[in-house]
Amino acid sequence: MTTQASPRERLLDAAGELFYLGGVNVGVETLCKAAGVSKKSMYQLFRSKDEVIAESLARRGPSYQALLLPADDDGRTPRERMLHVFERQDEVVADGKYLGCPLVSTAIELKNAEHPGSVVARRLKQELTDFFESEAAAAGARDPELLAQQLTIVFDGASARAVVRAQSLDGIGVTTAAALLDAAGVAA
C-alpha cells in the first residue's frame, strides 16, 4: 500500500508546479483539475488563492534550497561552499526548461510586496543571503554582510540572464562570484 498524498498536499504540489510553469495567474480551475481536488474542497482547505500561492512557495522552499546549497560540513572551504551555489545554478540552467528563480518570479508576478507570496519569497531569498553571510564570515571576508548581498545579486542577475537570453550560463555566475570573493579578501 502506498501512502496517498492528502488533497492539501496535492493542491500545494500542483500549485508549485503550475505557478512556476505558467505564472501565479494560472487559474483556480486549472489548479484544482491538476490536483484532482474540487474547488469547494480547495476553499475549505485554504482561505484564498493568495494563501495557496504563499503556501505552495513555502512548501517548495526546502527542496529549492537543497538543490542549491551544499551539505552541512562537507569538508570544503567556505569559498568552495559559496561557489557551489553558482555551480549548481549553472547546472540547473544547463538542464534546460529554466524559467527563473521561483522566488524572484513570484515577487515580480505578484507586484505587491505585502502579498503573502511575496513575504514567503523574501524570507526564502533571505535564507540564501544568510547562508552566504555565514560562510563569508567563516572565510574572514572583509565585510560578510556586504559580500552576502553582492553574491545574492549575482545569483539573481545570472538567473535573469538565463531567462532573458534563454541560454546556458557557461560559468559566468561562478566567475563573477569568484571576482567578488577575491575583492572581499576571500582567497582561493
Q: Which of residues 15-74 bind a second copy (CB under 8 A)?
A: 21-23, 25
C-alpha distances (whole Å) from 126 to each of 61, 107, 130, 183 are 12, 13, 6, 23
Q: How far is the CB of 29 from a second copy (least distance, A)?
A: 15
Q: Which residue has the cell 552576502?
A: 148
C-alpha distances (whole Å) from 171 to each of 5, 89, 110, 136 are 39, 9, 30, 21
For residue 118, state whether it binds a second copy (rule: CB under 8 A).
Answer: yes
SS3 sequence, 120-174? Answer: HHHHHHHHHHHHHHHHHHHCCCCCHHHHHHHHHHHHHHHHHHHHHHCCCCCCHHH
Judged by CB, which is closer to a second copy: 70, or 176?
176
What are φ and ψ of residue 99, in 5° steps? -115, 20
- Can you read off the three cell numbers belonging to residue 161? 540572464
For residue 154, state whether it binds a second copy (rule: CB under 8 A).
Answer: yes
- Cβ atoms within 10 A of the Cβ of 131, count? 20
Judged by CB, which is closer to a second copy: 46, or 86?
86
Judged by CB, which is closer to a second copy: 45, or 172?
172
Judged by CB, which is closer to a second copy: 76, or 123?
123
For residue 149, state whether it binds a second copy (rule: CB under 8 A).
Answer: yes
Q: How far is the CB of 160 from a second copy (least distance, A)?
A: 4
Residue window 77-116: x/- pattern of binding to a second copy, with contact defined by CB under 8 A:
----------------------xxx-xxx-xxx-x-x---
Q: Which of 35, 32, 46, 37 is nearest to 116 (CA)?
A: 46
Judged by CB, which is closer to a second copy: 9, or 145?
145
Residues lying near a second copy in the complex (CB under 8 A) are found at 21-23, 25, 99-101, 103-105, 107-109, 111, 113, 118, 121-122, 125, 146, 149-150, 152-161, 163-166, 172-173, 175-176, 179-180, 182-183
